[in-house]
Amino acid sequence: MTDSCYHIANDLKLPQSGAIEVCWKDGGYLALILDDAERDAVQAHLDDADWLWIDGSDTEQEGTWKRHTGEKLPKVPFAAPDWEEPNGAKQENCLIICYDLLGDWACADVLRALCKMDKSK
């Protein structure tokens, strides 16, 4: 049994930096997806309108993915059957998830946030 759950911040569409703040204000953090099983479990609950920020960017160095805190990600479970992710080079440096994709996206675009919350909150 897990001690956390996911929450989609429905009220605002923000760039990734704003999404980080929204999750923090809600008592959680921008979701971090570290493996295929977690990615698949989250995607099973999304529909084609859900394009959501998750934690991670390669802004500092292309191909080196880090959390917003600066911690290097051991692996990013990219998934996109026909998109060949990551595919944005220097134009797309922040991570998103949707029903059939975990990939890179332009950090300044405005999307909703996928927050991860402690169940006790």
Distance CA 90, CA 99 (A): 24
Please, are residues 49 and 98 in contact by the beta-carbon 8 Å criterion?
no
* pLDDT tens per residue, range 17-72: 999 999 999 899 999 999 999 999 999 999 888 999 999 999 999 999 999 999 99
The pLDDT value given to residue 52: 97
CA angle 20, 23, 24 (to 5 degrees): 85
pTM score = 0.91
Distance CA 115, CA 121 (A): 13
The class of domain 4-118 in CATH terms is: alpha beta
Please, are residues 80 and 88 in contact by the beta-carbon 8 Å criterion?
no
Number of alpha helices (DSSP H) and beta strands (DSSP E) in the chain: 2, 6
